[in-house]
Amino acid sequence: AYGPEVVLRVRNLSAANQRATVQVMSTGLVLTRVVAGASATDTVAFADNATLADVARAIQALGHGWSAALAAAEFAELASADLRALQGAFPARDQPAELRLHLHEAEDYLSDPARGWLIRPGGWPGGPQAWRIVYTAGFAAVPDDVQEACAQWVAQLFWQTKRDPGLAQETVPGSIAREPLRVVPVGVQTLLAPYRAYRA
């Protein structure tokens, strides 16, 4: 999606508050106010307030000077969880904290699964924060061989700490030759090899 626009304005109009901020997190809004040096925080969860209209009503119900208004009536049924997360803590005391959402769905793109790229014929104009991409990747559970690779690597690093930390290299002719780990151990590399894709 692209084209972030202001969809919700939140403010705090209580004269009792010295400071008020609104922050968008991945799970909801965090509304913080400071009264006589003491901080009070309220949370409006997206799970409990599915639409922007629901969020606005929930903020209104908080009291303590909080108010919220949709930027336009047409935004009422938009999903609250689509608000752009981690926008920062906006000041809201006696001024609107403007929360944005990417309103336009992009359809003219292709995916290159081998490289993990999204390709758009016209490019990706608009600069930082102009686009919102949501995707699913990885495994539901960490594969056994990846867990084993981590365990082996940690074990080798642990035993390395038991040796002289100043040791650069140690050689006893006909008996031993060793040096501290400087690269990923071969056994660990072998376990991880199926999960690594090398591209030119």
pLDDT in tens, 113-169: 777 788 888 888 887 788 888 777 778 898 999 999 999 989 888 877 776 666 666
DSSP 165: T
pLDDT for 50: 93
Q: How far is CA 104 from CA 28, 86, 132, 144, in A?
A: 21, 20, 10, 41
pLDDT for 156: 83
Amino acid (1-letter code) at residue 7:
V
C-beta separation of 86 from 25 below 8 A: yes
**Cα angle value 177/181/186 (rounded, 5°):** 90
**Cα angle value 81/85/88 (rounded, 5°):** 145
Give residues with Cβ within 8 angstroms of 6, minimum separation 6: 71, 98, 99, 100
First to last CA, the chain: 30
pTM to 2 decimal places: 0.66
Q: How far apart are CA 10 and CA 52, in angstroms?
A: 12
Beta strands 2-12; 66-70: pairing state = antiparallel
Amino acid (1-letter code) at residue 154:
V
pLDDT for 179: 65
pLDDT for 132: 85
pLDDT for 68: 93
Q: How far apart are CA 80 and CA 176, in angstroms?
A: 64
User: Around Cβ 16, how many Cβ atoms within 10 Å?
Assistant: 10
Low-confidence ranges of the chain (pLDDT < 70): 86-87, 163-170, 177-182, 198-200
